[in-house]
Chain A
Amino acid sequence: MKGYLVLENGKVFEGKRFGAMGDVIAELVFTTGMTGYLETLTDKSYAGQMVVQTFPLIGNYGVIPSDFESDKIGPGGYIVKEWCQIPSNFRSEGNLDTFLLDRGIPALSGIDTRALTKLIRDAGALNACITDDPDKVDLAALKAYRITGKVAQVSTKQAYTVQAEQEKYNVVLLDYGVKASIIKELVKRGCTVTVLPHDTTAVDILAKKPDGILLSNGPGDPTENVVAIATIKELLGAGVPIFGICIGHQLLALANGFETGILNGGHRGSNQPVRNTETGKVYITSQGHQYVVLREGASDNATIFFEHVNDQSCEGIRYANAPAFSVQFHPEASAGPLDTQFLFDDFIKMMEG
């Protein structure tokens, strides 16, 4: 069945529908990862966005629930060149169509995803909608679409705990849209993880007597989260080790007086090089962000210890005034390279004291 992608600039791409039916409006983003579509489709950081896969053949290894990063929410729409009807992998439990249908994600195939990617790249941010009837699309509404309040929407409503087999540390994770693999990495290292809603107060957090606090990844504009930023400010004084990832990194930076901005084009894929400015060593990382912490906020108390190799934008900050550090990229990978998983070890070391 035919379906259409209508961009806010009026451009229309005709494709074939699969996944869930119905219209959806979202912000277009692309990802260049050649594997990892399941992780992408279950990543809450994509809430409110519509993901375009640049690799043309998607769904090859089917649906593998144990690789999911969340049980419900991911991107609002999905665009591919071709999806694989008969996947092949020993862990696969189904195909992409069924999965998207189940999750209520409308999708299109057969589109020139490379041409679309170039448009997104050049536009910076671009809204679009998937629809059956392109003539009925209200372009003004499309243009006006903004991703707001997504952290509140995707964060857990209730606290829950994931117990480590042999508990060494008690870590509180502030859930702004956490990926399951972050929790897995912590639990693997002997951390019992208490996941708390994004708006939990500092008092309540500290009442859990955490050995460390992890600020998770999540969707949207970090500056929206004024409460969370204020909470982090309070936490900084408590002397508890803090590790921020993605939006967690941005919130930590905002709490420390940094400002955030918008990258031209963003970093999107599993092939993003970052340099550790202290060692000069380069790592390949997984990224999917457009908001960025501006370098100008760096001070004696806050050093940028990771930068992007291509545009030197801030990829990680180490604080001197508190036992805290954070990275923009995803050390938990999933999808992507495992090169920077050692940062979780660093976090553990901080907790060791």
Chain B
Amino acid sequence: MPLNKDIKKTMVIGSGPIVIGQAAEFDYAGTQACRALREEGIEIVLVNSNPATIMTDNVMADRIYIEPLTLETVKRIIKKEKPDSILSGLGGQTGLTLSMQLAKSGFLEEHNVRLLGSFPDTIDKAEDRQLFKETMIEIGQPVIESQVVTDVQSALDFADKIGYPVVVRPAFTLGGSGGGIAYSREELAHYAKNGLMLSPITQVLIEASILGWKEIEFEVIRDSAGNSIIICGMENIDPVGVHTGDSIVIAPTVTLSDKEFQMLRTASLDIVRALGIEGGCNVQLALHPTSFDYAVIEVNPRVSRSSALASKATGYPIAKISTKIAIGYTLDEILNTVTGKTSCAFEPTLDYVALKFPKWPFDKFIYAKRDLGTQMKATGEVMSLADSFEMAMMKAVRGAEIGLETMNMPKLKPLPDAEIKELLTKATDERIFVVFEALHRGLTPEEIHEITKIDNWFLYKMLNLVQYEQLLAEGKLDEETYRHGKKLGYTDKAIRSISGQQVPCQVEPTFKMVDTCAAEFAAQTPYFYGTYISPAAGGENEAAPFVRKAKKGTVVVLGSGPIRIGQGIEFDYASVHCVHSLKKMGYEVALINNNPETVSTDFDTADRLYFEPLNPEDVLRIIDMEQPMGVVVAFGGQTAIRLTKHLQKHNIPIIGAGADCIDMAEDRERFDGLLERLGIARPRGFAVKTTEEALAAANKVGYPVVVRPSYVLGGQNMIIAFSDADIREYMAIILEYEEENTVLIDKYLAGLEIEVDAICDGEDVLLPGIMEHVERTGIHSGDSIAMYPAKSVSDELAEQLLATTKQICKGLNAIGMVNIQYIILDGNIYVIEVNPRASRTVPYLSKVTGVPMCELATRVSLGEKLKDLGYGTGLYPKADYVAAKVPVFSFAKLTDVDTHLGPEMKSTGEVLGLAKTEEEALFKGLVAAGYKLDDRTGGVFLTVRDSDKGEIAKLAEKFHGLGIALYATAGTAKVLQDAGLTVHVVDKISENEENSVMALLESGAVGYILSTSARGRDPRRDSVKMRRRACLLGIPCLTSLDTANALADSLMSRYSQQNTELVDICNM
């Protein structure tokens, strides 16, 4: 069936803010969808609350609404725009759920909107546990013994019947939120209660455990004619029990014989057919390791994280093809653009392996439980491509940016054997390294398999690495050994460090193409990975012929690696824009990145894509071949910045700010020296190395103080210390992790925090906008609500900020983008931090101001001058709109993490509220971030630290005035009562169980919480326990008076989801 000509105007719903379980992959999917629709001349109406996305760029769609992804708002947009259709399967769970709600309520039919993609009954059959099970039984597919329950007792009864352990899976939650594996009645009661609470339909599935079975996934595409194909089969290295998002995954499957593979392939196709899915879909199966028994785990009836991975692993664009199918095409009508002459109705075949390695946030959340189970905890992932498992593993590990160059984890080395063995039993983010360590110590693969159930195939491959390292350690490093090491994936640095010798020769890398068809057809995809095959063995470098010499030369752009807290999708946005700008300017562009979720790793973003780790050696060998005129590091976040020194050491020109500029901004002494020279103030502080020095410094400047390591990423390991005890706790942790690092102790100034992104051409500076944080200093800029334009900044102050920014830019010799955070206190300007690179705020500021910041920064980095670029210099005129950037968190997924905000970043994503007034923008931002401002029935519970008590009464009055009941703990209550307010006094957890905070939260009487404490972090503390409980109950918990004030103001405002202005950013 060809294109359905009735489709003229389609709505595309994005997935909203980045949260654990829903990351950049949906920007990739959404962007592909928009492009696919554009190709057909279909008008696109796009809705997404996440401004840091390529899909919300005004060139992607005809109408773009950065509006809350709520049913009310989407309905209003449909009424306004009158699309004839809506695309359901490409906006993650968020987009799918919204589409289904619209369809089921009859709204779509009423407004003559056609649903494109799978229909509601299909989605229900796939997502409703009971319906799914029934469907599977109907078609004879084996399912795991299970029962859907709606109360805890039924869960316990069923488990008694089938025996422990059992798996708890809540229905309709993202990334399996609230699930777990219960080994006892107590654990089950806990998980079931939790899961029931989190499930929007109060339903959990209790199922027999199939722990230890192989977990196999298939990405399937089916079209309206019923043609179904497998894009990719994938095998989880971690057997069933660890969420696939937290598993190390290899594509294709490697331990399955053809008979097993075809059995599961056929099952997947049968399942997808029975469900009636149209478009991309993910099927998860469990296979018994020593028989042909298998069981269907679940189906994701939409494009997912796995689809993005499969797309990048194979070169087959699942999201694009799913979109084409949704608008009427069948698979055989769609051309495979990789070969340019074959159809998309085929199954991609690989002549390499792809390995996915998750990126977890545990380095930032040191108190979080590292256990991996049914609930996904990873924020992002890397993928590696290689022609052997060993090399793929090595590339993945060094590309994951976890401080490892090989699989040897230093902190495991001193542990006794017994402890290593004990650690093997625990599925954590570090287990693969424990496995490696165990192999090093002589445990056999069989012994490790017994404990971990990881297939021997993987263990023996890892043993190859161990044995190679043992050979090196013995000092044997001849040419043959060296070549063998390169084939196994070792960097020269690793070989040198393990062998203690210089490498004996140089070997040339062999770049290979990813072409969907294992060279069966000639392809032109400029998508490469590197390996080592000697010329004698026929080693052919396929990238070399693609390296063209453009007149202006080639530029290499470094991407930003895996999504993590502090370095999110914003940097992929910036990288992609830099690439586009360079292409526009006539340069050849080669991009290096290893994140499969992104738009930047789409093979047609740059002229050439190298899917490689952002590690010095990997990057250098590409540069060796590309011979670029320069390398851009400024858009790839800290990942790219970190490589600057290595590049400069090899005399590779950096486009934009160079190593010296970056060092000057990051090195405390040099930076202080600069500010002193320029006469610019910063909070008083010291650099220290020991606990004693830290205590002395803190007492010298006076508490509270900000404590952090000298080189920072997203405020990593940063706290505000209020006492000596805080300093001691912090230093103990930091010294364990980073022995050699200097720690900075700065006076904490509670002022107004201002953030600017400047573009500097060496002479002039352009300030597209000044942003103001709602929260006072002390909360990381990524976690603060930021308002643009800054209302508290007078014209005079703005001029001062411009002048200071200019001074700093010049002082640093910065070129391109510079991000600066300031504190304004008593009319004085203090500098907190300067980053001579693109920042998190660039995407939204570009969209709101209309200044193409990445393009300007790219152009000035290559010598153009701001005054010639059409956007002027100095302060750019304020936009007509106010933007409120509101952070979004994933706390529900991370057990034991304190939700109290501080100088260390905790948010995973952000949303934007866009309106004519500040009040309305904030209202929209908060609604988009998930605050239910329309519901004012719940009370507010207040418990604040002493330092906040002076301001609490004024805030409480606002809530009181809205008729919202006040609850508070004794200390806070006293302040409120003194102010004449009626308060329900609640006991602390430790005081009285019946009238305790916990009982109050459970009762459902509370709609909001404000909890500030001087100390937090440690999950054993009462305040942290309370906040954790609130998080699991889904009660918004604010940890700053300023945020609470903003919320109260929004509640008091006249705005509702029915009367806000819907802003189309394409026509602002």
Contact = CB atoms under 8 A, between A and B. Distances in A.
A337 B265 contact: yes
Contacts of A54: 349, 351, 518-520
A32 interface: yes
A33 interface: yes
Contacts of B253: 35
B255 A284 contact: no
A115 interface: yes
Interface in B850-880: none
B258 interface: yes
Contact of B345 (A38, A265, A309): A309
B455 A88 contact: yes
A139 interface: no
Contacts of A113: 351
Contact of A56 (B266, B351, B456): B351
Contacts, number: 175
A43 B687 CA distance: 72
B332 A55 contact: no
A90 B262 contact: no
Given A55-B349, A67-B257, A273-B332, A115 B539 contact: yes
Interface of B: 225-227, 229-230, 252-259, 261-262, 265-266, 269, 289-291, 330-332, 341-343, 345-353, 387-389, 455-457, 460, 510, 512, 517-522, 533-534, 536-540, 542
14 contacts: A11-B538, A34-B350, A86-B460, A87-B457, A90-B290, A91-B257, A112-B539, A117-B351, A268-B520, A271-B347, A271-B517, A281-B225, A284-B229, A338-B262
B349 A282 contact: no
Contact of A337 (B225, B262, B290): B262
Interface in A315-348: 333-339
A107 to B, nearest CB: 14
B346 A284 contact: yes
Given A54-B349, A113-B351, A269 B258 contact: no
Contacts of A91: 257
Per DSSP, chain B at the interface is loop
A115 B542 CA distance: 9
Interface string A8-21: 00010111000000
Given A91-B257, A280-B225, A14 B536 contact: yes
A96 to B, nearest CB: 13
Interface residues of A, number: 61
A279 B308 CA distance: 32
A72 interface: no
A208 interface: no
Contacts of A273: 229, 332, 343, 345-346
B512 A57 contact: no
B343 A269 contact: no
A314 B389 CA distance: 39
B344 to A, nearest CB: 9
A111 interface: yes
A117 B520 CA distance: 7
Contacts of B266: 337-339
B827 to A, nearest CB: 67
A148 interface: no
- Which 10 A/B pairs are nearest by Cβ-Cβ distance? A88-B457, A112-B538, A115-B540, A54-B518, A271-B347, A90-B290, A36-B258, A14-B536, A35-B258, A335-B258
Contacts of B389: 57
Nearest to A274: B345
Nearest to B517: A32
A117 B387 contact: no
A57 B518 CA distance: 13
A33 B349 contact: yes
B346 A15 contact: no
A225 interface: no
A269 B518 contact: yes
B537 A110 contact: yes
Given A14-B537, A115-B540, A61 B351 contact: no
Contacts of B522: 118, 121-122
A101 to B, nearest CB: 21
A168 interface: no
Contacts of B259: 64, 67
A166 interface: no
A244 to B, nearest CB: 23
A39 B258 contact: yes
B538 A115 contact: yes
A270 interface: yes
Contacts of B258: 33, 35-36, 38-39, 67, 334-336
A271 B257 contact: no
Contacts of A112: 510, 533, 537-540
Contacts of A339: 266, 269
B456 A86 contact: yes
A337 B227 CA distance: 14
Interface in A86-115: 86-91, 110-115
B347 A270 contact: yes
B333 to A, nearest CB: 10
Contacts of B332: 273, 275, 282, 309
Nearest to A85: B460
Given A14-B536, A64-B257, A89-B257, A32 B349 contact: yes
Contacts of B539: 112, 115
